[in-house]
Structure 1
């Protein structure tokens, strides 16, 4: 039963695209897209719609000299962020973005429900 559950989760797990823009985020942020603001070749911030489906925007600092900060890696058009993103207000989502896919942390309940909700929010 467990392998079937994991196969189902992988099938509905949405992959986030990457979009690079100038210094301002578009309004509204597009679904299933990690938007990166840049100044020349310097990545300033990342923004995305919360993958739990609550509809909130998640904005993350990418500048190393400010806290908190996240590290962005983009390979083959797929983004990864570290450390994990943990929303301490509202929905409380806690996840990693790895290779363009949301990986919910072990402390999150109803992970499959969140993945399905995000799949249909596109």
Structure 2
């Protein structure tokens, strides 16, 4: 139902088309079957452990974020009534594509330093 509501709002041009939607799953997703544009939140009602998704800069890269409060670093994923995720803080790949971005209401907002290698000291 949420997906249909989102599609209608996009067609009516009331909201922009989201690059990502979120799905709650009970176990870790198989990387070979992960869909583009889908964030898999591993957990259950009232708790979240991990978030997995394909990197928007390089679909071959799988991003894995810890959502557990006792771990560092950690992120939060908030999902609105249309299934659009917001991730905080930003996501920064330190290898591979060196992508640096925010996901807000399902949209990708790129940071100015995205794609640049991280200088190691």
What range is the shorter-chain TM-score in?
A: 0.7 to 0.9
The within-5 A match list for 1:64-75 is: 64-75=69-80
1:16 aligns with 2:20: yes
Higher relative contact order (CA 8 A, sep 6+): 1
Match among 92, 97, 108 for residue 91 of structure 1: 97
Task: Identify the structure with the greater helix proportion.
Answer: 1
The TM-score, its normalising length taken from structure 1, stands at 0.73
Match among 45, 48, 61 for residue 66 of structure 2: 61
Partner of 1:26: 30
CA offset at residue 41 of structure 1?
2.7
Gap runs ≥5 in structure 2: 1-15, 116-121
Question: What is the total number of aligned residue pairs between the two structures?
Answer: 98
The TM-score, its normalising length taken from structure 2, stands at 0.73
Q: Which aligned segments of 4 or more residues in structure 1 are displaced greater than 4 angstroms?
A: none
CA offset at residue 40 of structure 1?
4.4
Cα RMSD between the aligned structures?
1.8
Match among 34, 37, 41 for residue 36 of structure 1: 41
Contact 1:54 1:91 in 2 (8 A): no
Secondary structure of 1:52's counterpart equals: coil
Structure 1 residues 72-81 or 39-48, which shifts more?
39-48
Gap runs ≥5 in structure 1: 1-10, 110-122
Contact 2:36 2:59 in 1 (8 A): no
